[in-house]
Amino acid sequence: MFTLSKSSPCGVYIKLGNMNIVPKQWSESNKTVYKSNEGGEGSRPNWLLKMIELLKKLIEIKSDSKSGANEALLFCAAWLEEHGQEVTVHENNGYLMLTAVKGQGNETLIWNGHVDVVPGNASQFAPVEKMGRLYGRGSADMKAGVAAMMMAFVELEAAALSRTVQLHIVTDEEIGGHNTSEWLVDQGFTGDFVICGEPTNLKIGLQSKGVLHMDLIFKGKPAHGSRPWEGQNAIESAMKFHNQLGTLPFQQEATPYYAHPSVNLAIIGAGDRYNVVPDRCRMSYDIRFLPGQDPNDIIQQMDGLAKKLEIDMEYKADPSTPALTTKPSHPYIESLQQAIRKAGHADPVLFGQHGAADTRYYAATMGGEGAIEFGPAGADWHGDGEYVIISSLFDYKAILSIQALS
Ligand SMILES: [Zn+2]
């Protein structure tokens, strides 16, 4: 049985996987670009059939709840152990996660995947294969990534690694990742480079925007609704402020990966009757700032705008999610691009993610860099028609292994 650990479990003993795969094997067979291979099943090697089988079993586990995600996690732990891999299952607040370690050397490469999914209709938990695609809840987001990571991991020849590779499988990414990925990082499970296998169509999501939440309270002066000139309408002050937001300097900035930051007016609360001039209006903004922008500077610009407009405004700001700022020149981004080319994709694509993922917890210990999203191809995750393109799974596994062994 695998070890169950509730406390800091660094330094897990490593057993070798029982299969050896060297890059040559797939460089022969992996020329097909996934886009051109959507139609047919063709002749699939046994290990690919096995990976598809693994993915189907994972999809069948209804992991849209805590208990379901834990069940999927224990299934992964048992599968890894059956394949000769020692794993440690950890528990935090009732959420399970696992770590497995292999290799040696000064650097650590981490593969992170989550087995929890957003809720889906019953039919989505019965995977269907059609036209080279596998449909089902979690097929793309991200049980495909997990299945490929598991297969690649057990096949890695430990003796051939010049770095340590850690596999992290977690169960609460869709609700924020605080109980598993964040907890693992707190326990010291971090490294030099982290790949979260979110679906990215085999593109490298090397950056992501930071998150700044601001709650603004606009203050006015109450008066009778029949004599509004005797008061100061806080809703009107808030509207005036909002209409000027687009002029702030931080909104004019762009980077090679982003055309602009984003500002979402998410919540408004004000006024409760017709005959009173409202003296208070609360507006809450979800601001996604660019890598390189300083959230404190944005806060100052927001505050400065209110002062310039002579509006009485107080605020609370929470800039606790930093942007991820990995650069294209990062050595692991370069080795990943080389691996993608070796797997038959001539032009690796780098892009910036708009939303945040578990990458942020790892990056927080790594100076904001070195945690990326990179995963197989699919579509409609969180939607009714979610699917993964099976041949991208094949390529994804190959790319992971090539980079780990590089
Ligand atoms: Zn995901």
CA of 175 to the centre of ligand 1 (A): 10
> What average pLDDT score do residues 178-189 get?
97
> What average pLDDT score do residues 365-384 get?
94
Per-residue pLDDT tens digits for 251-292? 999 999 999 999 999 999 999 999 999 999 999 999 999 999
Q: What is the CATH number of the domain that holds 131?
A: 3.40.630.10
Residues 290 and 252 in one domain: yes
Token readout for 343 is 């797997």
CA of 145 to the centre of ligand 1 (A): 9
CA of 222 to the centre of ligand 1 (A): 47
Q: Nearest Cα to 225, choosing from 286, 269, 263, 271?
A: 271
Residues 190 and 292 in one domain: no
Per-residue pLDDT tens digits for 301-316? 999 999 999 999 999 9
Q: What is d(CA 282, CA 215) in angstroms, rounded to the nearest whole number?
A: 7
Residues 162 and 244 in one domain: no
CB atoms within 10 A of CB 210: 25
> What average pLDDT score do residues 82-93 get?
97
Residues 64 and 192 in one domain: yes
Whether 15 shows a pLDDT value over 50: the answer reads: no
Q: What is d(CA 352, CA 263) in angstroms, rounded to the nearest whole number?
A: 17
CA of 10 to the centre of ligand 1 (A): 25
> Any residues with CB less than 8 A from the CB of 199 and at least 6 apart, and which?
140, 141, 142, 144, 145, 375, 376, 377, 378, 381, 388
What confidence category does residue 376 fall into, taking pLDDT thresholds of 50, 70 and 90? very high
CA of 56 to the centre of ligand 1 (A): 17
- Predicted confidence at residue 122, as pLDDT, reads 92
| Segment among 8-17, 62-71, 218-227, 336-345 with least mean pLDDT | 8-17
CA of 143 to the centre of ligand 1 (A): 9
CA of 168 to the centre of ligand 1 (A): 14
- Predicted confidence at residue 45, as pLDDT, reads 79
CA of 390 to the centre of ligand 1 (A): 18
CA of 186 to the centre of ligand 1 (A): 21
Residues 181 and 43 in one domain: yes
> What average pLDDT score do residues 190-204 get?
97
Q: What is the CATH number of the domain that holds 223?
A: 3.30.70.360
Residues 59 and 114 in one domain: yes
- Predicted confidence at residue 281, as pLDDT, reads 98
CA of 385 to the centre of ligand 1 (A): 16
What confidence category does residue 3 fall into, taking pLDDT thresholds of 50, 70 and 90? low
Are 177 and 121 within 8 A, CB to CB? no
Whole-number average pLDDT of the chain: 90
Q: Where a domain ends, among 295, 321, 347?
A: 321
Residues 30 and 174 in one domain: yes
Q: What angle do CA 344, 160, 148 make, to 5 degrees?
A: 50
CA of 392 to the centre of ligand 1 (A): 17
CA of 306 to the centre of ligand 1 (A): 38
CA of 225 to the centre of ligand 1 (A): 50
CA of 37 to the centre of ligand 1 (A): 24
Residues 21 and 123 in one domain: yes
Whether 7 shows a pLDDT value over 60: the answer reads: no
Whether 1 shows a pLDDT value over 60: the answer reads: no
CA of 364 to the centre of ligand 1 (A): 19
CA of 45 to the centre of ligand 1 (A): 28
> What average pLDDT score do residues 34-54 get?
70
Q: How many domains does the chain have?
A: 2
Q: What is d(CA 66, CA 296) in angstroms, rounded to the nearest whole number?
A: 36
Q: Of residues 308 and 18, which shows the higher confidence score? A: 308
3-state secondary structure the chain: CCEEECCCCCCCCCCCCCCCCCHHHHHHHCCCCHHHHCCCCCCCCHHHHHHHHHHHHHHHCCCCCHHHHHHHHHHHHHHHHHCCCCCEEEEECCEEEEEEEEECCCCEEEEEEECCCCCCCHHHHCCEEECCEEECCCHHHHHHHHHHHHHHHHHCCHHHCCCEEEEEEECCHHHCCCCCHHHHHHCCCCCCEEEECCCCCCCEEEEECEEEEEEEEEECECCECCCHHHCECHHHHHHHHHHHHHHCHHHHCCECCECCCEEEEEEEEECCCCCECCCEEEEEEEEEECCCCCHHHHHHHHHHHHHHCCCCEEEEEEEEECCEECCCCCHHHHHHHHHHHHCCCCCCCEEEECCCCCHHHHHCCCCCCCEEECCCCEECCCCCCCEEEHHHHHHHHHHHHHHHHC
- Predicted confidence at residue 6, as pLDDT, reads 43
CA of 356 to the centre of ligand 1 (A): 10
Are 17 and 355 within 8 A, CB to CB? no
Residues 146 and 180 in one domain: yes
Percent above pLDDT 70 for the chain: 89
CA of 375 to the centre of ligand 1 (A): 10
Whether 2 shows a pLDDT value over 80: the answer reads: no
CA of 320 to the centre of ligand 1 (A): 21
Q: What is d(CA 92, CA 208) in angstroms, rounded to the nearest whole number?
A: 27
Q: Of residues 22 and 105, which shows the higher confidence score? A: 105
Residues 401 and 338 in one domain: yes
Residues 27 and 129 in one domain: yes
CA of 326 to the centre of ligand 1 (A): 20
CA of 353 to the centre of ligand 1 (A): 13
Residues 134 and 192 in one domain: yes
CA of 402 to the centre of ligand 1 (A): 23
CA of 247 to the centre of ligand 1 (A): 34
CA of 142 to the centre of ligand 1 (A): 5
- Predicted confidence at residue 34, as pLDDT, reads 43
Whether 13 shows a pLDDT value over 50: the answer reads: no
Whether 191 shows a pLDDT value over 70: the answer reads: yes
Residue range of the domain that includes 283: 210-321
CA of 340 to the centre of ligand 1 (A): 21
CA of 23 to the centre of ligand 1 (A): 28
> What average pLDDT score do residues 89-116 get?
98
What confidence category does residue 31 fall into, taking pLDDT thresholds of 50, 70 and 90? very low
Q: Where a domain ends, among 305, 321, 337?
A: 321
